[in-house]
Amino acid sequence: MFKKIPYEKNDKKELTDAEIEAFKKEFDGVYLIEVEDKKCYLHTPTRVMLDAANAASAKARSKFSEIIIKSTWLAGDKEILTDDAYFLAAASTLDDIIEYKDASLKKL
């Protein structure tokens, strides 16, 4: 079994097919964000991760994206977080990794 390495200690640039499959089973989804010549692999965020990101974003909107990327990081080029142009491009894709079920509301 493959272990997720925390962002701060993670120097992996790529994931193998076996790692991707294992992480898909563990996290329900693995995503590849590509920004020009840089890329990163992220997994689906949990509710706890989303709550932490929302709380931090009260002070600075970009903190939401930064926390989601760091907390779901599996591998990739860290310039995505350190270079503003790469970061802003990657951050613009994050809505697509937050999975929602269809719901309906009925007034009774």
What residue spans define the domains of the chain?
Answer: 7-95
pLDDT of residue 100: 76
Distance of CA 95 to the CA centre of its chain: 10
In Å, how far are 32, 36, 87 from 20, measured between CA atoms?
10, 22, 23
If you average pLDDT over residues 17-25, what whole number do you get?
Answer: 95
Evaluate whether 23 touches 74 at the Cβ level (below 8 Å): yes
If you average pLDDT over residues 28-56, what whole number do you get?
Answer: 95
Task: Give pTM, 2 decimals.
Answer: 0.88
Evaluate whether 99 touches 28 at the Cβ level (below 8 Å): yes
pLDDT of residue 59: 85
What span, in angstroms and rounded, lies between the C-alpha atoms of 11 and 62? 23
Residue 98 scores a pLDDT above 90: no
Pairing of strands 38-43, 73-76: antiparallel
